[in-house]
């Protein structure tokens, strides 16, 4: 039996609890009764099932065929044991329906089926204060996500919001596979302390060598370790927060403009990145030939080349080729129009809904 199968069995037992056990016992009683009547009385499977049903439900329609003495003794034992189990099973099912356990289990199974179909999604490991912000921003701008969180209360909150969630450790290979690590576009590791985040980074990198990983750290030393573990980039909320506060004081206008572009505080400004798809630019194309500014009203602030090089404030003569990523700023509608020209999959993220 595989590890995943055992995990599902444990999840079934934990979710259904006494109800699952009582239903299993009731099924065994039915099977025991059918086999017993077939062996003792020589009845058919249907006649035996009918006898078990009328016995356990105490309907008393009468025996389909007169019972022998051993058959009557067997029936008495079936009544004493089976009716008790049937009554317990009925009460357990009723309790589960009233308390919502069955609904919770079915909801979880629906989420599992949804996660099995997910692809090109993002995985967020940890749903604390930082994880909430990351998850919400990804949902609003980039598409589907799946969260791995070990806190049962936070998992229940995510289920109420219909956000796919795996309850468990983000460093566990089984949980990462269940979250679709082989089909995702990127992983954000927001857990604390740093040791857990680095361990989760190592686990993700071992399963996917090519996936982008952003890992939360608290210091430069932790950042070095996270990169060694496989993080594509590291993010320190303390350092970024301090940088933002300092620029907010020293350069308030520039900082406010970045807030408008990156945090979508204004409806008419959006900073985004567009991938130039194959076949959408001709040989020798330049920034000027795209006529981005004059015709589309979008400003190219930088170009990321396929080799990782970054061209900032590109002039009109800078060449644009397939595989380049255009970092642009402009009105959301104009950015979407430009994305349609450079490639159907050019938008690295979807514009925030208005």
> Would you give per-residue pLDDT tens digits along the chain (354 residues)?
344 444 544 544 444 556 667 778 888 888 988 999 899 988 889 888 888 888 887 776 666 678 888 888 888 888 888 777 877 777 777 766 666 556 666 777 777 777 778 888 999 999 999 999 999 989 987 789 999 999 999 998 998 888 899 999 999 999 999 899 999 999 999 998 889 999 999 999 999 999 999 999 988 899 999 999 999 999 998 888 888 888 788 888 777 767 766 655 456 777 788 888 777 665 567 888 776 655 667 888 888 888 888 888 888 888 888 888 888 888 878 887 777 776 655 444 444 433
Q: What CA–CA distance (Å, rounded) separates 41 from 48?
A: 9
Q: What is the pTM of this model?
A: 0.62
- Together in a domain, 278 and 176: no
pLDDT of res. 261:
61
188 exposure class (CB count in 10 Å sphere: 0-12, 13-18, 19+): buried
Q: Domain ends where: 67, 99, 131?
A: 99
CATH of residue 9's domain is: 1.10.287.70
Instruction: Tokens for 181, please give them.
Output: 């690590």
Q: How many other C-beta atoms can be found within 10 angstroms of the C-beta atom of residue 252?
A: 10
pLDDT of res. 276:
82
Split into its structural domains, the chain has a count of 3
Q: What CA–CA distance (Å, rounded) separates 18 from 99?
A: 13
pLDDT of res. 105:
66
Residue 353 placed within a domain: no
pLDDT of res. 251:
82
pLDDT of res. 58:
73
Q: What CA–CA distance (Å, rounded) separates 124 from 127?
A: 8
pLDDT of res. 59:
73
- Together in a domain, 95 and 159: no
- Together in a domain, 139 and 233: yes
Instruction: Tokens for 47, please give them.
Output: 């006649």
Q: Domain ends where: 68, 99, 130?
A: 99
pLDDT of res. 81:
80
Residue 235 placed within a domain: yes
- Together in a domain, 288 and 203: no
- Together in a domain, 85 and 123: no
- Together in a domain, 90 and 132: no
Sign of CA dihedral 300, 142, 236, 225: negative
Cis bond upstream, residue 205 (ω within 30): no
Segments forming the whole domain that contains residue 37: 3-99
CATH of residue 216's domain is: 3.40.50.720
Residue 254 placed within a domain: no
- Together in a domain, 161 and 216: yes
Q: Starting at the earlier edge strand, list the strands of the sheet with 325-330.
A: 270-275, 325-330, 299-304, 310-312
């Amino acid at each position: 039996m595989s590890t995943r199968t055992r995990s599902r069995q444990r999840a079934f037992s934990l979710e259904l609890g006494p109800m699952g056990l009582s239903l299993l016992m009731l099924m065994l009683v039915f099977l025991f009764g059918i086999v017993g009547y077939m062996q003792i009385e020589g009845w058919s499977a249907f006649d035996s099932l009918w006898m078990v049903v009328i016995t356990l439900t105490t309907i008393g329609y009468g025996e389909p065929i007169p019972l022998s003495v051993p058959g009557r003794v067997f029936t008495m034992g079936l009544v004493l044991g089976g009716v008790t189990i049937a009554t317990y099973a009925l009460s357990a099912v009723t309790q589960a329906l009233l308390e919502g356990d069955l609904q919770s289990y079915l909801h979880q199974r629906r989420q599992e089926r949804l996660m099995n179909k997910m692809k090109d999604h993002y995985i967020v490991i940890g749903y604390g204060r930082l994880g909430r912000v990351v998850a919400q921003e990804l949902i609003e701008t980039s598409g589907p996500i799946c969260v791995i969180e070990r806190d049962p209360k936070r998992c229940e909150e995510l289920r109420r919001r219909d956000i796919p969630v795996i309850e468990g450790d983000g460093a566990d290979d089984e949980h990462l596979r269940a979250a679709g690590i082989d089909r995702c576009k990127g992983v954000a590791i927001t857990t604390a302390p740093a040791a857990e985040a680095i361990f989760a980074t190592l686990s993700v990198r071992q399963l996917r060598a090519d996936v982008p990983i952003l890992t939360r750290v608290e210091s430069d030393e932790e950042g070095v370790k996270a990169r060694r573990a496989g993080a594509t980039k590291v993010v320190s909320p303390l350092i970024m927060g301090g940088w933002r506060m300092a620029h907010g004081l020293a350069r308030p206008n520039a900082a406010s403009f970045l807030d408008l572009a990156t945090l979508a505080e204004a409806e008419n400004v959006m900073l985004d990145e567009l991938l130039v798809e194959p076949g959408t630019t001709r040989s020798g194309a330049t920034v000027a030939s795209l006529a981005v500014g004059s015709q589309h009203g979008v400003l190219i602030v930088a170009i990321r080349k396929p080799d990782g090089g970054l061209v900032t404030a590109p002039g009109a003569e800078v060449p644009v080729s397939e595989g380049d990523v255009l970092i642009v700023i402009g009105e959301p509608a104009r950015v979407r129009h430009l994305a349609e020209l450079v490639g159907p999959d050019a938008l690295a993220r979807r514009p925030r809904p208005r």
